[in-house]
Amino acid sequence: MNRLEAFSDGVFAIAITLLVLEIAVPRLGGGLLGAIVGEWPSYLAYLVSFATIGAVWVAHSVITEHVESADPPFLRINLLLLFFVSFLPFPTKLLAEYLGHDGAEEAVRVAVTFYGVTLLLTSVTASALWGWARHAHLIHESARDADVRYLTHRLTPGLAGYVAIIIVGVFQPILAVLGYLVIALFFLVPVRELRASRRAGTSAPGGVDPAS
């Protein structure tokens, strides 16, 4: 698990940092301030992808924290998750390029849908990683049932959310992008409570958890 975590952390950290390379230096013409402001699709795409990779990293570290040892399918699903995460800079680049494009409605729609499908596949793979860990009994025996159920419960609605927003995006592309941001920010919030409580539980004297 150590090298799996180190390698995954590396891919997450690189993917999240490469995103900034896609923001191009604006060309002058009527003032730099206006040119910078005119690049808002780049910033929005950057922000949404950053928040999403951050959220997936949080989910990934919660999952691996509960998992005792990796078996072959777990490792392959993990590699598939890293595949989608490291692919994300490309749809982000497409989104940044076409989001504010007037007179190219078809391109905007395609770019937003392509972006959303990548997010959906990332999210499905993260759920599959957790699902496999539960199915193959890879989870620490010390993990509390309530935590396992809670994490399962948390990972599911994201999928339905992505499907719904992909459909919305065909008609309202910018609204869909904001929706993807909301899902990522929403995911960043309460999962950590779980993690903190588990930590507190394991560090209690004698390993006894008064809450269970």
Size of the site for a copy of itself (CB under 8 A): 62
Tokens found for residue 131: 């699902």
Closest CB 27 distance from a copy of itself, rounded Å = 10
Count the alpha carbons within 13 Å of 83 in the hemisphere toward its beta carbon: 9
Q: Which residue number, 90 or 172, has a Cβ lying nearer to a copy of itself?
A: 90
Which residues are registered as beta bridge partners of 139?
67
Q: Find all residues with CB under 8 Å of 42, minimum gap 6, and list them.
A: 22, 23, 24, 96
Question: Does residue 176 belong to the site contacting a copy of itself (CB under 8 A)?
Answer: no
**Alpha-carbon gap, residue 130 to 67, rounded angstroms:** 9
Q: Taking Cα atoms as reference points, which of 159, 13, 137 lies closest to residue 85?
A: 13
Q: Which residue number, 99 or 155, has a Cβ lying nearer to a copy of itself?
A: 99
> What type of residue is 57?
W
**Alpha-carbon gap, residue 41 to 47, rounded angstroms:** 10
Closest CB 127 distance from a copy of itself, rounded Å = 20
The single residue among 38, 61, 140, 150 that binds a copy of itself, judged by CB under 8 A, is: 61
The single residue among 38, 107, 121, 182 that binds a copy of itself, judged by CB under 8 A, is: 107
The residues binding a copy of itself (CB under 8 A) are 3, 5-7, 9-21, 23, 25, 28, 31-33, 36, 46, 50, 54, 57-58, 61, 69-72, 75-76, 79, 82-83, 86-87, 89-90, 93-94, 97-98, 104, 106-107, 110-111, 114, 188-190, 192-193, 195-196, 199, 203
